[in-house]
Structure 1
Amino acid sequence: MANIKYEIVEKLGTVSEGAKGWKKELNLISWNDREAKYDLRDWDQSNEKMGKGVTLTKEELQNLKELLNGMDLS
C-alpha cells in the first residue's frame, strides 16, 4: 500500500470520542500536497492512525450544512 502524505492544516472540532480514545474529528486537511479539504474521520490520540472517513470540498460542506439545517432531528 502506498504511503499517503497528509497535513492537518486546521483542527475544526471533535464530534465524538470512543472508549479507546479515538476521536471523530472535523479537520481541514491537505492530502498529498493538494489543496486542503474538509475531512471527517476517526483519529487516534496522536493523529498518526486514522479510520475511514469522508473528504468534502467547501461547496460540498456548504450543501451538507443546508441539508442538515433542513432536517428535523427531534
Structure 2
Amino acid sequence: MADIKYEIKEKLGTLSESSKGWTKELNLISWNGREAKYDIRDWAPEYEKMGKGVTLSKEELKELRNILNDINLD
C-alpha cells in the first residue's frame, strides 16, 4: 500500500477520548499535498496511527452544520 502523506494544518477540536488515549478530532488536513479539507477521525496518542475517518470540503461541512442545527437532540 502506498504511503499516505498528511499535514495537520489546524487542530479545530477534540470530540472524545478513549480509555486508551485515542482521540476523535476535527482537524483541517492536507492529504498528499492537496488543498486542506476538514477531517473527522480517530488518532492515536502522538498521531503515530489513525483510524478511518471522513473528509469534508468547506461546502460539505457547512451542509453538515445545517443538518445538525435542524436535529432536535432533546
Q: If the length of structure 1 is used for normalisation, what is the TM-score?
A: 0.99
Q: CA RMSD in A?
A: 0.4
Give SS of 1:62's match: helix
What are the superposed Cα offsets for residues 13-60 of structure 1, whole Å, 9 maximum, x if unpaired? 000000100000000000000000000000011112000000000000
**One-letter amino acid of the structure 2 residue matched with residue 49 of structure 1:** K
Query: Across the two proteins, how many residue pairs are aligned to each other?
Result: 74
**One-letter amino acid of the structure 2 residue matched with residue 23 of structure 1:** T
Give SS of 2:12's match: strand
Gaps of 5+ in 1: none
Q: 1:48 & 1:58 partners in 2: Cα distance?
A: 26
**One-letter amino acid of the structure 1 residue matched with residue 63 of structure 2:** N
Q: 1:73 & 1:48 partners in 2: Cα distance?
A: 34
Runs of 4+ in 1 over 6 A off after TM superposition: none
User: If each structure's helix is expressed as a fraction of its own residues, which one has the higher value?
Assistant: 2
Q: Name the counterpart of 2:48.
A: 48
Q: 1:43 & 1:53 partners in 2: Cα distance?
A: 10
Q: 1:38 & 1:13 partners in 2: Cα distance?
A: 11
How many percent of aligned residue pairs carry the same amino acid? 70
Map 1:1-74 to 2 at 5 A: 1-74=1-74
Q: 2:35 & 2:48 partners in 1: Cα distance?
A: 20
